[in-house]
Amino acid sequence: MSGHLAPSGAASSGVDVFELGSEHEQVVFCNDSATGLKAIVAIHSTALGPALGGTRFYPYACTDDAIVDVLNLSRGMSYKNALAGLDLGGGKAVIIGDPAELKSEALLRAYGRFVQSLNGRYFTACDVGTFSEDMDHIARECDFVTGRTVAHGGAGDSSVLTAYGTFQGMRAAAEQVWGEPTLAGRTVGVAGVGKVGRHLVRHLVEDGAQVVVTDVHAPSVEAIRAQFPQVRAVASTDELVASEIDVYAPCAMGGAISDEVLEVLRAKIICGAANNQLAHPGIEKQVDERGILYAPDYCVNSGGVIQVADELEGFSFERAQQRATGIFETTRKVFELADADGVTTAEAADRLAERRMREVGRLRGIHLR
User: Is position 55 within any domain?
Assistant: yes
Give the per-residue pLDDT at 14.
80
Whether residue 323 is found in the same domain as residue 183: yes
Whether residue 130 is found in the same domain as residue 25: yes
Q: What confidence category does residue 346 fall into, taking pLDDT thresholds of 50, 70 and 90? A: very high
CATH of the domain at 30: 3.40.50.10860
Q: Is 138:145 a contact under the CB 8 Å cutoff?
A: yes
What is the pairing mode between strands 37-45 and 26-32? antiparallel
DSSP state of 260: H
**63-83 vs 303-311: helix axis angle to the nearest 10?**
80
Q: Return d(Cα 289, Cα 92) in angstroms, integer.
A: 33
Whether residue 248 is found in the same domain as residue 332: yes
User: Is position 82 within any domain?
Assistant: no
Question: What is the tens place of the pLDDT at every residue in 21-60?
Answer: 999 999 999 999 999 999 999 999 999 999 999 999 999 9
Whether residue 169 is found in the same domain as residue 276: yes
Q: Is 258:279 a contact under the CB 8 Å cutoff?
A: yes
- The yes-or-no verdict on residue 357 having pLDDT over 80 is yes
Catalytic: 103? no
Give the per-residue pLDDT at 24.
96
Question: What is the tens place of the pLDDT at every residue in 98-118?
Answer: 999 999 999 999 999 999 999
Of 248, 197, 245, 247, residue with least CA distance to 223:
197
Whether residue 106 is found in the same domain as residue 182: no
Q: What confidence category does residue 13 fall into, taking pLDDT thresholds of 50, 70 and 90? A: low
Give the per-residue pLDDT at 9.
38
- The yes-or-no verdict on residue 367 having pLDDT over 90 is no
Please report which residue ranges of 1-47 form alpha helices under DSSP H. 17-20
- The yes-or-no verdict on residue 1 having pLDDT over 90 is no
Q: Which of 117, 132, 154 is the last residue before a domain boundary?
A: 154
Q: What confidence category does residue 365 fall into, taking pLDDT thresholds of 50, 70 and 90? A: low
Whether residue 333 is found in the same domain as residue 285: yes
Question: What is the value of pTM for the model shown?
Answer: 0.89
**Residue numbers of the domain that contains 278:** 159-355
Q: What percent of the chain has pLDDT over 70?
A: 95
User: Is position 363 within any domain?
Assistant: no
Is 194 labeled as ligand-binding? yes
Q: 4: Cβ–Cβ under 8 A, 6 or more apart, which residues? A: 72, 75, 276, 278, 280, 281
CATH of the domain at 202: 3.40.50.720
Give the per-residue pLDDT at 157.
82
Q: Is 43:74 a contact under the CB 8 Å cutoff?
A: yes
Counting the structural domains of the chain, the total is: 2
Whether residue 183 is found in the same domain as residue 127: no
User: Is position 169 within any domain?
Assistant: yes
Whether residue 171 is found in the same domain as residue 227: yes
- Residues listed for the chain: 369
User: Is position 105 within any domain?
Assistant: yes
> What is the distance of C-alpha 110 from the center of its chain?
25
Is 192 labeled as ligand-binding? yes
Q: Which of 154, 171, 193 is the last residue before a domain boundary?
A: 154
> Where do the DSSP E strands lie in 98-229?
122-123, 187-191, 210-214
Question: What is the tens place of the pLDDT at every residue in 221-266?
Answer: 999 999 999 999 999 999 999 999 999 999 997 889 999 999 999 9
What is the pairing mode between strands 247-250 and 37-45? unpaired
- Which stretch of 15-24, 203-212, 316-325 has the lowest confidence by average pLDDT? 15-24
Average pLDDT, the chain: 93
User: Is position 269 within any domain?
Assistant: yes
User: Is position 251 within any domain?
Assistant: yes
Buried b (16+ CB within 10 A) or exposed e, 50-81: bbbbbbbbbebeebbbbbbbbbbbbbbbbbbb
- The yes-or-no verdict on residue 297 having pLDDT over 80 is yes
Whether residue 339 is found in the same domain as residue 297: yes
- The yes-or-no verdict on residue 293 having pLDDT over 90 is yes
Q: Is 244 exposed, middle or buried (0-12, 13-18, 19+ CB in 10 A)?
A: exposed
Q: Tell me the β-bridge partners of 30.
A: 39
Is 38 labeled as ligand-binding? no
Is 197 labeled as ligand-binding? yes
CA atoms within 13 A on the CB side of 157: 10
Q: Is 138:114 a contact under the CB 8 Å cutoff?
A: no
User: Is position 122 within any domain?
Assistant: yes
Whether residue 207 is found in the same domain as residue 338: yes
Q: Which of 154, 179, 204 is the last residue before a domain boundary?
A: 154
* Angle, vertex CA 71, rays to CA 145 and CA 68, nearest 5: 125
- The yes-or-no verdict on residue 178 having pLDDT over 70 is yes
Buried b (16+ CB within 10 A) or exposed e, 291-328: ebbbbbbbbbbbbbbbbbbbbbeebeeeebbebbebbb
Q: Tell me the β-bridge partners of 37.
A: 32
Q: Return d(Cα 209, Cα 231) in angstroms, integer.
A: 10
- The yes-or-no verdict on residue 6 having pLDDT over 70 is no
Whether residue 115 is found in the same domain as residue 262: no
Whether residue 194 is found in the same domain as residue 145: no
DSSP string, 264-323: H---SEE--S-SS-BSSTTHHHHHHHTTPEE--HHHHTTHHHHHHHHHTT---HHHHHHH
What value does the mean pLDDT take over residues 298-320? 94
Q: What confidence category does residue 276 fall into, taking pLDDT thresholds of 50, 70 and 90? A: confident
Q: Which of 38, 80, 92, 268 is catalytic?
A: 92
